[in-house]
Amino acid sequence: MTRSVYVTGIDRGDGRQVIELGVMELLTRHVDRVGVFRPLMHGDGPDRLFDLLRSRYRLTQSADTVYGLSYDEAATLQAERGTDELVTRLVERFHAVARDYEYVLVLGSDYSDTNLPAELALNARLANEFGASVLAVVGGQGQEAESVRAEVRNAYRAYHSLGCDVVAMVANRVAPELREALADRLSARLPVPCYALPEDGSLSAPTVNQIVHTLGAEVLLGDDSGLARDARNFVFGGAMLPTFLKALTPGCLVVTPGDRADLVIGSLAAHSAGAPPIAGVLLTLDERPGPDIMALAARLAPGTPVISVPGGSFPTAAELFAIEGKLNAASPRKAETALGLFERHVDTVELTNRISVARSGRVTPMMFEHELIERSRSGRRRVVLPEGTEERVLRAADVLLRRDVCDLTLLGEEESIRKRAADLAIDLTGAQIIDPQTSELRERFAELYAKLRAHKGVSYELAFDVVADVSYFGTLMVQEGLADGMVSGAVHSTAATIRPAFEIIKTKPNAQIVSSVFFMCLADRVLVYGDCAVNPDPNAEQLADIAIQSATTAAQFGVEPRIAMLSYSTGTSGSGADVDKVRKATELVRQLRPDLLVEGPIQYDAAVDSAVARTKLPDSEVAGRATVLIFPDLNTGNNTYKAVQRSAGAVAVGPVLQGLRKPVNDLSRGALVQDIVNTVAITAIQAQGARPGAAHTA
């Protein structure tokens, strides 16, 4: 039977989309097929939340199946034929969705100009008729603690008295200083879990792009990244420049008459210097600076929006203060912020159990990625990113910080990093920034490196130069416990990333070599491929070591290891040096780790296809069910993982290095932002297994 959870409220303005997004995140971690149903909607316009859910969670559900009726249709039907007929119609449409999905997230009515009497009672009845558990949200914006407590208690009693299975209550948008005490008091007073989420100004701040569309503004300068910035505050220009600059705040939108070229240039110059970074400039009165001023503005702060409206500052201000930020597909950073907020303040394990989400037998790429984020957050570690000015690294850092995945250290010149982050509208609050050239750690690291490499004739003076390199500096941070792991390679070569690790961190006592694996996320399972990135032609002993390390890595990430030692023949059907190497490696694995399931030599099809396995190796415990696939050489492994990635649409996560005493991972120079996020999460999880305790800060 399809399960469902009904997220509802008691009034408008409760910020419920944060909770709905968070619940969808929980569901997609455990369930392959999740549907969405909104019983009632406003008109025929786009549903911003569903568009966000569809794009973020790769939903294939058709938009026309998501909705029951418009509010106008519902009000007319209820008036003409009664509530029973309205409920019957909505139940039919709900079950049309439920038939196709394992779990359905139901989005309750929004209490905004709905023309429906007894709206809370209607939501309660629909939840009961759908067989859905209820998660009720109460808005606490601008209210005192006692007022919020009373509303939450009353909301619980209302839904409970109407027969609903209330699984939890949420007080949302409460004053941050009240949150902890409020959550404790509510949980003590009610028989269900109660969570309190604080107000986060960045969620209600409109983006510059939203302001452009709402005001009908003309974009004079600015790129997509600039238009995606949040306008956290508005600063209205009227004072002379020295006084005006003191009023600027981080993320503010400067509003000034278009003939004040001094304020325009001064604001953009301040942004360029990072003191402070602004969201952009809005020109009023339909006045615009001349072409020379605009050309200077474009050079001062490339990408920073300069927009123009015909109205004066006062009517423009009235419109600006009425705009509130919204979660939608065009604002992915807000979604990351919302999820970070939800996951910090909601006991996600408890809520998952309360809404009875049973883990699917399939493991999809998204489920695997969710698991990485969840596990990395559960045992906080610090990861150092040497490529601190690279755009993809900064965007990944933005996601990691908003989701509260791990602690981060970025390496590079601080002014350059902060200026680049400001241009990309990225908030690095919470990240540590270290410049290896000027850091007080440089001398300490030089002494250590000179000592480690004395046998190679490395002097202190040479070491002092070497450790200023970001890859060496980051590796030494890991070695010294100032970070728990390192991720690099977005712009550096593999050699530049892992050579310092070989010299400084070195291999584990039980590992012969450093090798790598890719997690290949197929449509219904995750396979582990090794080694596809490091060792060109391992001998039998090295191949056995790769297999054992890969099995350990697989188990660490929740993949039950069943090892297939791949070759061009299966069992005893072939001969030759290449097959003999694989056969010998298989025997070594059995001798060294008799607890592991291993088969080899075996062909790829016999390893993963049960029908082929029944023909070629009918008695094997691995054939047809292999999860760890070990390739005989780098040429075979690298080509195979890329072929599967491209032709089967698999998500390849890696390479993940194994065999080092502490985790260092290399990125492909073509890595996407999500690849970097995944690799950092993997590194944090590896660090959790490497040693207890959190890293020290430098």
The tens digit of pLDDT for each residue in 388-446 reads 999 999 999 999 998 889 999 999 999 889 888 887 878 888 899 999 999 999 999 99
CATH code given to domain 208-321: 3.40.1390.20
- The pLDDT of residue 698 is 38
- Computed over every residue of the chain, the mean pLDDT equals 88
Comparing CA positions, the residue from 557, 554, 517 lying closest to residue 534 is 517
How many Cα atoms sit within 13 Å of 238 on the Cβ side?
6
- The pLDDT of residue 134 is 94
The tens digit of pLDDT for each residue in 493-546 reads 888 888 999 899 988 888 888 999 999 988 778 899 989 888 899 999 999 999
Q: Do domains 3-200 and 362-506+664-698 have the same CATH topology?
A: yes
Specify the pTM: 0.79
The mean per-residue pLDDT over the stretch 635-661 comes to 87
Residue with tokens 């001998």: 539
**Helical residues (DSSP H) of 403-435, grouped into ranges:** 414-423
Could you tell me the residue ranges of all domains in the chain? 3-200, 208-321, 362-506+664-698, 515-659
Which pLDDT band, with edges at 50, 70 and 90, does 574 fall under?
low
Comparing CA positions, the residue from 195, 127, 215, 113 lying closest to residue 163 is 127
The tens digit of pLDDT for each residue in 201-234 reads 888 889 999 999 999 999 999 988 888 888 989 9
In whole angstroms, what is the distance from residue 617 CA to residue 606 CA? Answer: 8
In whole angstroms, what is the distance from residue 258 CA to residue 286 CA? Answer: 7
In whole angstroms, what is the distance from residue 461 CA to residue 158 CA? Answer: 74
Region of residue 425 (left: phi > 0; alpha: psi -120 to 50; beta: else): left
In whole angstroms, what is the distance from residue 252 CA to residue 258 CA? Answer: 17
Question: What HEC string does 501-515 produce?
Answer: HHHHCCECCCCCCCE
User: Is residue 690 predicted with pLDDT exceeding 70?
Assistant: no
- The pLDDT of residue 276 is 84
Percent of the chain whose predicted confidence (pLDDT) is above 70: 96
The mean per-residue pLDDT over the stretch 655-677 comes to 89
The domain made up of 362-506+664-698 is a member of CATH 3.40.50.10950? yes
Q: Are the beta carbons of 540 and 587 closer than 8 angstroms?
A: no
- The pLDDT of residue 546 is 95
Task: Tell me the CATH number of domain 3-200, given options 3.40.718.10, 3.90.1170.50, 3.40.50.300, 3.40.50.620.
Answer: 3.40.50.300
Amino acid 491 reads: V
The tens digit of pLDDT for each residue in 461-495 reads 999 999 999 999 999 999 999 999 999 988 888 88
CATH superfamily of 515-659: Isocitrate/Isopropylmalate dehydrogenase-like (3.40.50.10750)
The tens digit of pLDDT for each residue in 341-364 reads 999 899 988 999 888 876 666 677
